[in-house]
Chains A and B, each alone.
Chain A
């Protein structure tokens, strides 16, 4: 019984519920996002993720603290404002924090992921309001209104998810869940009918292993799922006046493109979302890559470099009149070391342009000549990675990922228990937990479901 020797203190010892976190603003690109966290030890849990932990810990009443939110690896995710609320003076009546970050989806996701791997679980729809009510914080009208909004949002989110995925995740999870229910039913029937010849109680380790592998591969699709949700990051790079902005504009002239200035970064890059060959693409026009004396521009260039570092693909634009200069050569090599890179030979429409060497794609960003070839080349680079997705379900939300990971943890515990000879009634706890976690994605598994599985598959009863 050594697997759980350290019993964590009961979360409600100080009257607070277990720590939860969720995005309080809509899940969309926006200027500012608010992530709310509430529950027992909430400040203690958030402090280590913040550049000024003591400021949070020392806050005795409502306080706003400015600082950097970082991941568990210590790397900064975003500059944020953290509002600290001390019980009972908070929305929920518990100790709470609200993290105000920039409203970019990757930032939101990374902050949430960090919280979820640091002791928080995702709040269920309406849970903050529930707590607010429980602690007597909400009056009737206010609570009703909040609840309506939450309900509308969760319903919409659900239908969106259903439409986008055509139920394929549900099917994949249901099939895994179905297998686990079968195992549990088998175990339960053997436990409840010890005298019948139902065979020995076995939780087949190979099936658990297989299930773990299947769930792990589902979790792995999270990255791909995010690509579909957030878009592949494609950066356009090149020296000043090579024609980057023209190319950018050419791409985003499409109907489905949305151009937005990234808040607070007017000089560094422009971002747009477009669709190339069915795949959402987030296109970045970076500042000219050249050493500059201008400090503001230098800062812009530094940020552009960081964009290049996180891009999935770089389109490097060479000025076809000047050809590949030493600076281009160095840059292309640098970039190619890290990410796939396509080199476009721009300005082919001009008489001065040199002949496009092989391996380059000659285009004219001005006239659109041969841009289709570039587009095809981009598509060819970004879809192979996604090609594996075809016909296979992908997960695309932190919540799904979190729940599958919760199931994985429980299944690994199951495995430990089975291997360690832990009695099966105790191991069943972990198996149930795995089923429950998956059930939160696709619908709850009730005792009746287990009983149905028990009695449809086994002949028992005297």
Chain B
């Protein structure tokens, strides 16, 4: 069977990659091991959070699906860090897991140009050169052709799960691992590695003692993740909080030898920022308690997720330590926690378009690249999908910069620096953090999404309307000055700004845009609260953003200096051998990317630029 594009895997990366290609008009096939597992939230029942929530909104602004899926299936919404400055605020939603999956599958099924097929890909079909992909072969011997393939294997490639002394080949508990594809990958010269992640036990809701648990409700006001949604109307469920104690920790310590993490059975690299409870107890012996968040897995299920208790201890140990925790004394485990170890591919073998440097037409996204998290996976799936489609269109790839999106930071980090542990996004990874607010994602990326062809004219029109409305407001703020009459009926804090423009007055921390809207209801009022908030933050933070930009300005210029594909680093005399090896391996696309490679010195860069021997484009 012939297709334009094939997506291997139906997780969060695969969903985005498949939808993009189908929506851009390409005959697309998604092959997954189990159609019932499309869009599964394998671990925590939540989408968003710090930096991750921003990425979900960026995905939406570019024309991806994740924002709409979570808007349609959330059962609780919160803005985190509400009191801590806008650049580090982020939306997070509890998801109804089964509903999320259903919504994802339904979206794929109804997408024109997209076929779904249940099977396991075990080999690639390459052209005569052996360096260009033309299709895939499945376990059952089916052959499908396509000139681009997006590989998203998640935790399934040679996946192996561990529960104490028990271990078996699986990508998730109860779901077989995918075998076969690692062989051609290795033969083609891909560097593979092992990574590890884990998940906690699920317990039955009715076995919990809610009297002993703190209840945590979400926010009343819901900000939709998707910019195409004006509101979200969903049932709301609370979460619950409890704590481990010394009895819990004693049990864990006594049984540490039975943990596959500490017995040496697991070789894969785990993430420091997603530690198991065993890790926490061993690494922080002084802590006498750790947080546990108990989160519902959905409206129609009684399963509850024990966030913070990720563990691969034997089941009897899991039950014993869980039952030392207040509220969980009689907890009934319905699924045990487990660790999973899987193959990943060194992402430094990819271009910033997420295309393999070894096999043309092969794009790789998600956990296969060593990342962690639904949002990180979806972001890569979207960009890999976009660039696979761009390749089919013979259009240049879309590479987001670190200054315009967390997605840009994510991909640049992965392909430039690689990763030694499952890569999770943090706001602290983004040097342009102040410019990457979640509420400004559409201003940053909607145009790109439209130009790629992923937005309808209607959505684009609405965006332009918002943009011009925001510009009008800023214009008015600049031109309108605060006078004596204004101050007669305004907060005292405003009166010291008499004579200044509204714009200047708004920069003072105690002034709110609401104060000014009250003075100029016609010009400034009557707009959605989100738009007003956006203007307020833009103005208030302008000075800091300018400072931030000055600090990172030098890097931006270097981004615009491109290095031609296939550049021969051996031609350069005088660069350090370390830099030469790294350049050859990573094949940076710009001097900017080259400058971020560890071990590269200024003199190496200068020489590289000199030898490139052409006048680079000026910064815009």
Which residue numbers of A lie inside 8 Å of B, CB to CB?
1-5, 7-8, 11-12, 15, 17-18, 124-126, 129-130, 133-136, 138, 140, 143-144, 147-148, 150-151, 154, 188, 191-197, 201, 420-426, 428-430, 432-433, 436, 446-447, 450-451, 454-455, 459-462
Contact = CB atoms under 8 A, between A and B. Distances in A.
Contacts of B429: 447, 451
Q: Which of A7, A454, A459 has the most CB of B within 10 A?
A: A459
B602 A125 contact: yes
Contacts, number: 167
A421 B84 CA distance: 10
Contacts of B607: 144, 147
B527 to A, nearest CB: 22
Q: Which of B308, B598, B610 has the most CB of A within 10 A?
A: B610
Contact of A130 (B426, B546, B606): B606
B507 A192 contact: no
Interface string B82-116: 00111110000000000000000000000000000
B543 A462 contact: no
B551 interface: yes
B291 A425 contact: no
Contact of A129 (B80, B434, B606, B618): B606
Contact of B88 (A18, A197, A425, A446): A425
B215 interface: no
12 contacts: A12-B553, A12-B619, A15-B618, A126-B603, A130-B605, A134-B609, A195-B291, A429-B434, A433-B547, A447-B429, A450-B428, A462-B310
A147 B605 CA distance: 11
B541 interface: yes
B540 A1 contact: yes
B86 A420 contact: no
Contacts of B606: 126, 129-130, 133, 147, 150
A459 B283 contact: yes
Interface in B478-514: 504, 507-509
A425 B85 contact: yes
Contacts of B548: 429
Interface of B: 44, 50-51, 80-81, 84-88, 271-275, 280, 283-284, 287, 290-291, 293, 307-308, 310, 426-429, 431, 433-434, 504, 507-509, 540-544, 546-548, 550-551, 553, 557, 561, 573-574, 598, 602-603, 605-607, 609-611, 613, 615-616, 618-619
A429 B609 CA distance: 30
B602 A423 contact: no
Contacts of B508: 1-2
Nearest to A426: B544
B610 A143 contact: yes
B272 A4 contact: no
B50 A197 contact: no
A148 B542 CA distance: 42
A125 B509 CA distance: 41
Given A18-B553, A447-B429, A462-B310, A194 B541 contact: no
4 nearest CB pairs, A to B: A423-B85, A4-B543, A425-B85, A136-B615
Contacts of B507: 1-2, 5
Q: Which of A4, A133, A135 has the most CB of B within 10 A?
A: A133
B509 A188 contact: no
Contact of A133 (B283, B290, B609): B609
A451 B546 contact: no
Contacts of A461: 271-275, 280
A151 B606 CA distance: 10
A193 B431 CA distance: 18
B602 A126 contact: yes
A429 B574 CA distance: 36
A432 B81 contact: no
Given A1-B541, A194-B80, A425-B85, A140 B610 contact: yes
